[in-house]
Amino acid sequence: MHRHIDAAPGIRLWVEERGPADAPPLLLIMGAQASGVGWPDPFVDLLAAHHRVIRYDHRDTGRSTWAFDEHPYPITQLAADAVTVLDACGADRAHVVGLSLGGMLAQLLLADHPDRLRTATLLGTQALSSTPYVRPDGVAVPVEELPGIDPRVLELWARPVPPDLELEAELDRRVEHWRLLSGDVLPFDAAYTRAFERGIIEHTGHHRTNTAHGRADASGMDRTRGLARNEVPTLVISAPAEPVFPPPHPQHLAQVIRGARLVEIPGMGHALPPAVHAPLAAAILEHSRS
């Protein structure tokens, strides 16, 4: 079942619910410039066997309102949108899973709205904390010295995208993007990725790109104290082939979020190919059950 909900005057969000209506709700929060259908259907179905899974399009993605230039907002507003989605779906408390920027939004929820979360699972993201990372040998590493984004990814992100790019050329660009984001461990299936992105374009209704989340104000997101006081059961997924927030970012997350535990998905990068669906879903379901 899918529908639109009102998040603010002139702003509507596309929302889908899948799974038994009486099952514990589980909210999926996607990354920057990514729509809710970036969570692959087979993966969502694995979770929906035990949960009422809620996924949605951020504003300026998918079928939600694209109006950043007329209605600019800070990144923190996207976390408020997640709470709005829970309200609209009648979910007083939910399990929350966040990927990339979605993992940062989930941390904002942990710190600011812990009463709305049953559990949290974070993947492919960085800590919203200024606390140094303590290496196994006891050496403290300042946050600004943790490994950065793979230069190949940065180079691709820096390339301008022509506004009149044809569909097949845009699909070529997206496949190249996901080839890099997938990491260098698991085999990359270009045909699968192309078909997956074609489905996202069909869902959206066009293949225009949007830079709204990259232009949104990212200030005021540090939650060092709130994460240190966390009482929500939190799972951090470690992806050894992650090119955006590579290890030890997951280990740092598990240190700064009180009570968090770490689970590694072998071969995983910053993407959700079929090879990671079963182990990732199993880790999330075990966490939500416990």
**Confidence tier at 208 by pLDDT (50, 70, 90):** very high
pLDDT score, position 195? 98
pLDDT score, position 40? 98
pLDDT score, position 286? 98
Query: pTM here?
Result: 0.97
Residue 72: how many CB atoms within 10 A of its CB?
12
Span 271-290, mean pLDDT? 97
pLDDT surpassing 90 at residue 1: no
Dihedrals φ, ψ of 236, to 5°?
-110, 125
Q: Which tens digit of pLDDT belongs to each residue from 19-70? A: 999 999 999 999 999 999 999 999 999 999 999 999 999 999 999 999 999 9
- Across all residues in the chain, what is the average pLDDT? 97
H-run or E-run covering 176: helix 167-181
Q: Name the token pair of 174.
A: 């997206």
Q: Name the token pair of 32.
A: 């920057």
pLDDT score, position 99? 98
**Confidence tier at 150 by pLDDT (50, 70, 90):** very high
Report the alpha-carbon distance of residue 233 to residue 66 in Å, rounded.
Answer: 34
CA atoms within 13 A on the CB side of 289: 9
Q: Which tens digit of pLDDT belongs to each residue from 92-110? A: 999 999 999 999 999 999 9
Handedness of CA 149, 208, 41, 7 (dihedral sign): positive
Instruction: Name all domains of the chain by residue range, CATH numbers in brackets.
Output: 2-289 (3.40.50.1820)
CB 171 within 8 A of CB 198: yes
Q: What percent of the chain has pLDDT over 90?
A: 97
Report the alpha-carbon distance of residue 274 to residue 46 in Å, rounded.
Answer: 12
pLDDT score, position 276? 98
Integer distance in angstroms from the first to the last C-alpha of the chain?
A: 28
pLDDT surpassing 90 at residue 290: no
Judged by DSSP in three states, 96 sits in strand
Residues whose CB is less than 8 angstroms from the CB of residue 79 and which lie 6 or more positions away in sequence, other chains included? 105, 108, 109, 112
CB 253 within 8 A of CB 233: no
Question: Among 35-49, 107-121, 122-136, 151-165, whose mean pLDDT is lowest?
Answer: 151-165
Q: Which tens digit of pLDDT belongs to each residue from 220-278? A: 999 999 999 999 999 999 999 999 999 999 999 999 999 999 999 999 999 999 999 99
The 3-state DSSP composition of the chain as helix, strand, coil percent (nearest 5) reads 40, 20, 40
Span 76-105, mean pLDDT? 98
Residue 25: how many CB atoms within 10 A of its CB?
21
